[in-house]
Amino acid sequence: MSNSDETGIAFPTATNINNRVLFPLFPTNKMVTFCVPDKEVAKDLSLKLLAELDKSTGMVKYLVELAECWEVLVGMAVATIFISIAYIALLKWITKPLLYTSIVIILLGFVLLGGWCWLKKNEFDPVLQENNYNAAFAGAIGAWVIGGIYLCFIICCWKNIKLGAAIMEAASDFVTANVRVVLLPVLSYIVCVPTLCLWMFAAVYLYSIGKPEFEENSFFANIVWEDNTRYMMLFFCFGLLWVIAFIICLQQFMIAATVCQWYWSGEGGDDAAMPNSANSTSVFASFKWGIWYHAGSVAFGSFLIALITAIRIIFEYIVYQYEKVGNKENPVYKCLKCYIRYVLWCLDSYVKFITKNAFI
């Protein structure tokens, strides 16, 4: 059984035979020992499926754009790695000059801005152009005051500024001596891809647990879940967030552990030439420490991150559902949405910061 929509494309419909729903019925051709859909019908159905997907999610547009520019994306990813390595290597020589030059330029900027406003003030008549005169005068005083405060902060924090520059130099030395560490984020991404594929494969089976309800002129069936299945799906989705967060947190722990090995072995100090300190860092040892000794800490930190991420996703889902039926232009709603979104972002950033430093 089939009918057609306004596009004229044949579209099979559900058939009820002996209280069993059979969906859909396709004209087929025999190929060896298999039945395959008719070529023309399969083509029309594929176009219909893509049109329905694009109408509901815009997925087709994204897939087409990804297929057209994947080479550029891969090239940019590879170039980013080499540019990052080169930049970090250059920081060894340009960190202090760049930092101190920036401080001087900012300070001179405030001084010159104040001087320009002061000279501009003299171009205005204090009586006939009182407003312009007062604005230029206030601008000069404000720029010089801010510059003075900025200079006071520099003087008070000079030791911390020197310490920050030294830390940047040490970070450059570490990355230059352990270039393989730069590959850890790439490896984490490579591990996440098959993990996501495996999760999607299992999610399809989990999603299909239930009673299907077919609708006329639709490729997709609505699966009616029981409460237990719904809870399983929610837990499965949270598990994906937890696993991805665990991989990222393990990568951060491995980098921190490798830095500790490099620093405490003396490779970054004056005794780097000592025979016992050379090549004493091991990424594999960091991985072993993370899995064998600190898996609980990494799992707990990733659990907190996954929990906050799940809360943010639930909030965005509530916003999406409300905006479909509610007044999304309401100023009170907009303010409340932005405020909650900002609070959740701050909470997420705070938890990630604390977790990263806890690993260190």
Task: Please calculate the CA angle 189-193-194 and round it to the nearest 5 degrees.
Answer: 130
How far is C-alpha 132 from the chain's CA centre? 47
- Predicted local distance difference test score (pLDDT) of residue 166: 82
Of 61 and 162, the structure prediction assigns the larger pLDDT to 162
How far apart, in whole angstroms, are the C-alpha atoms of residue 279 and residue 269?
14
Contacts of 226 (CB under 8 A, 6+ apart): 210
Q: What is the pLDDT of residues 305-324, one digit of tens each?
A: 999 999 999 999 898 888 88
Q: What is the pLDDT of residues 154-194, one digit of tens each?
A: 999 888 888 888 887 787 778 777 778 878 888 888 898 89
Q: Using 50, 70 and 90 to split pLDDT, how confident is the model at 244?
A: very high
Q: How many helices (H) and strands (E) does the chain have?
A: 9, 8
Task: Please calculate the CA angle 71-74-75 and round it to the nearest 5 degrees.
Answer: 85
Cβ-contact 245, 352 below 8 angstroms: no
- Predicted local distance difference test score (pLDDT) of residue 51: 67
Orientation angle between helical segments 295-325 and 331-359, nearest 10 degrees: 170
Q: What is the pLDDT of residues 2-34, one digit of tens each?
A: 444 444 444 444 444 444 444 455 667 776 666
Contacts of 147 (CB under 8 A, 6+ apart): 107, 110, 111, 114
Contacts of 23 (CB under 8 A, 6+ apart): 12, 13, 14, 15, 214, 221
**For residue 180, which phi and psi values (nearest 5 degrees)?**
-60, -20
**For residue 167, which phi and psi values (nearest 5 degrees)?**
-65, -40
**For residue 157, which phi and psi values (nearest 5 degrees)?**
-105, 20
- Predicted local distance difference test score (pLDDT) of residue 122: 79
Cβ-contact 59, 53 below 8 angstroms: yes
How far apart, in whole angstroms, are the C-alpha atoms of residue 199 and residue 69?
26
* Region of 34 on the Ramachandran plot (φ > 0 left; ψ -120 to 50 alpha; else beta): beta
All structural domains of the chain with their residue ranges: 2-57, 87-172, 180-359
Give the best-scoring range by mean pLDDT among 119-123, 203-207, 262-266, 300-304: 300-304
43, amino acid identity? K
Beta-bridge partner residues of 28 = 37
Strand, helix or coil at 303?
helix
Q: What is the pLDDT of residues 91-148, one digit of tens each?
A: 777 777 888 888 899 999 999 988 888 888 777 777 777 788 888 888 888 889 999 9
Residue 249 CB neighbours (<10 A): 27
